Structure 1
Amino acid sequence: MTAAIILAKREPPERAKDRLRLTTDLPFAADLMVACLQGGQPVSEATAIAGTTVGGPLGERLTWVSGQLRLGADPDPTWASLGDDRATKQLARAMVRAAQSGAPVADVLSRLADDARAASHAAAMARARRVGVMAVAPLGLCFLPAFVLLGIIPVIAGLASSIVLPMFP
């Protein structure tokens, strides 16, 4: 029963792959949008350029947002639609906040890119540490029986041979 629950909660491999790609592409897309904005492009055009260049799942979402902004959609709900996924939630919040407050979008995106890069680095380090921990279990399973057979059993056999058991008549 618990195995069925764990398997039911497990994320499908293609969804995990898309989420990983979203996470790794986000800093590059944010930096590209910053470069476009600093070059004088409007937000919708910077988003379109980043979406076309990045491609993949993030590129599709950015291209959709760009199309909506070009058609004159309200920026708040348009950017908020990216908040469905954990990877793009930060981008959605930052862009909605920038649209509401009038803060410079390039500064917001620069901070977002730095934060996303740091989070990606931390996740990669955690995965690398997890590999090291997971490699110990098979090694332990291989070496523990050998240690018992070659180290402990001969000692016990040696001690047992020297112990004199009392004889009952």
Structure 2
Amino acid sequence: MTLAATLLALALLLTGREGGARMATWRSTGERIDRPVRLGSADPLAAASTFDVLSACLISGMAVSSAASAAALSAPPGLARVLTRAADMLALGADAATAWSDPGPPLDDHARALLRLARRSAESGTALAQGVAELAAESRSDAADAAKSTAERAAVLIAAPLGICYLPAFLCLGIVPVVVGLAGDVLQSGLW
């Protein structure tokens, strides 16, 4: 039992997982919700699912502030901060351009794209739901492309050690005996 606990502690130490981190968010009713924060393991599809939730809420007829607040509950931390800020400002009566303005430097690409889309929607009067649905599809496509490039990179990195190990073995066990056998036959019978 002690060996298993030691190995588990070693695995947790090596992977760098922190299990106790939590982030507090508030609903529009003022109720506090504690949710775990996953440090170190960013889900590439988390933004796409957040955009899907936001789009579904907007299509169903929810107000933008309520939809942003609902989507922020399951969003990655950077996107959740943007959605919560916009929801709070819209609920207080701020105009859409102010609510969807840039809150500060630590923003990821998904949050920036949502801010641009929401500001453009507020200026032109176009429906935000369709644009958010397109952002979700684009995020899924980007995640698939990233996974594919990672798999291709892994295939290349795996092929090099295999070539280094198997090529000499193939030469020593496959080619050299054939050449030695042919050379022995040629030398015994003579060249003419």
- With the length of structure 2 as denominator, give the TM-score of the two structures: 0.62
Report the equivalent of 1:166. Answer: none
Which is strand-richer, 1 or 2?
2
Q: Is the 8 A contact 1:51 1:63 kept in 2?
A: yes
1:24 CA displacement? 1.5
Matched, 1:92 2:106: no
Partner of 1:132, secondary structure, is helix
**AA paired with 2:168?**
P
Matched, 1:143 2:166: yes
Aligned residue runs from structure 1 range 7-156, under 5 A: 17=40, 20-21=42-43, 23-54=44-75, 56-81=77-102, 84-154=107-177
Shifted more, 76-85 versus 86-95: the winner is 76-85
Partner of 1:53, secondary structure, is coil
1:93-142 deviation per Cα after TM superposition (whole angstroms, max 9, x unaligned): 21111111110111111222222222222222222222222221121121
Percent identity between matched residues is: 34
Alignment gaps of 5+ in structure 2: 1-15, 18-38, 188-192
Report the equivalent of 1:4. Answer: none
1:87 CA displacement? 2.9
Alignment gaps of 5+ in structure 1: 1-12, 164-169
**AA paired with 1:123?**
A
1:8-49 deviation per Cα after TM superposition (whole angstroms, max 9, x unaligned): xxxxx99x947x43x411221122112212222211110000
**AA paired with 1:29?**
T
- Distance change >3 Å, CA 80–CA 132, structure 1 → 2: farther
Alignment length (residue pairs): 149
- Distance change >3 Å, CA 57–CA 17, structure 1 → 2: farther
Greater relative contact order (CA < 8 Å, ≥ 6 in sequence): 1
CA root-mean-square deviation: 3.2
1:89 CA displacement? 2.4
Which is helix-richer, 1 or 2?
1
**AA paired with 2:126?**
A
1:153 CA displacement? 4.7
